Amino acid sequence: MVVPCTEYGEAQAPVLQGLWEYVKSGQEDVLRSPYLPASFAFLAHVLLCAPFLALDALGSVCQRVRSWRMTAGSGPPPSLSRWLECFCRVLYKYVTVVLPVTALFNTLINLKLPDVAPSCWQLCVEVVACLLLFDMLFFMWHLVMHRFSWLYRNIHQMHHQYHTPFALAAQDCSSAELLSLLLLSLSSAWMVGCHPLSEALFHLINTWLAVEDHCGYDLPWALHRLLPCLGGAPHHHAHHSLQTINYAPLFTHWDHLFGTYRASVLNSRPQ
């Protein structure tokens, strides 16, 4: 007996099917908008940075929070004015470069909205596949930017103004690099053939990991403590400090394979 795909989808993922129908209901024009990916990326980045803005504010009055700062010599947390300056720079780059170019990219892709939600298994497989693919693509691109001086000077050097980065600075880079990050993430989802729900979850997780990598804190509940395969903030902090190691954005296996891995050379917390 052949089960219709709608019935099959509902049988496999009733919760996700209800969620998908709710998201689609009356919102198809928004979901098909070529401006949605860049807008979603910017808003997700800003919102996911909010907890670390609160930590930076608490750090000025709470010794416990300051003890989670990456190194004793990293200085005080960034001020509110520094956060605001960074926010304005990132917003300007999104509006002037990232939004129009990614809109063109998504117009060429011609997104289709399926009627059936993914199963929970499909959702997990697609998200993990996207994370692994993006990690590989960005590792290669990141390594190339460091190895070729012209690319480093003209594209990547701006991001390395931060020896001790903070959360919002994860996207404070040149317009070309910021655009390349978003195109790599969109291309990863496109190559995997993700369902839109899987793609949205992938972008959220990817954004959170980038924010956490740049937060400047080695938090006791950070994801890299739960999942040793992740590099986390200490891994990426060492990259910003030495610049010749730890190129992968999420996992550590590519750095191990290419001999560019090094455990954090900085003390996680002052003693």
Predicted confidence (pLDDT) per residue in 192-219, tens digit? 999 999 999 999 999 999 999 998 888 8
Q: How far apart are CA 38 and CA 262, in angstroms?
A: 33
- Whether the per-residue pLDDT at 78 is higher than 90: the answer is no
Which string of b and e fits 31-64 if b means at least 16 CB within 10 Å? eeebebbbbebbebbbebbeebbebbeebeeeee
Q: How far apart are CA 242 and CA 225, in angstroms?
A: 22
Helix (H, G, I), strand (E, B) or coil at 267: coil
Of the candidates 189, 250, 258, 256, which has an alpha carbon nearest to the alpha carbon of residue 223? 250
- Whether the per-residue pLDDT at 3 is higher than 60: the answer is no
pTM exceeds 0.85 for this model: yes
| Mean predicted lDDT score pLDDT of the chain | 86
Give the tens place of pLDDT for each residue, 23-36. 888 788 888 888 99
Q: Determine contact, residues 187/141, Cβ cutoff 8 Å.
A: no
Q: Determine contact, residues 233/217, Cβ cutoff 8 Å.
A: yes
- Whether the per-residue pLDDT at 229 is higher than 70: the answer is yes
| Beta bridge mates, 69 | 217
| Beta bridge mates, 217 | 69
Q: Could you say which DSSP state residue 172 is in?
A: -
> Which pLDDT band, with edges at 50, 70 and 90, does 245 fall under?
very high
> Which pLDDT band, with edges at 50, 70 and 90, does 71 fall under?
low
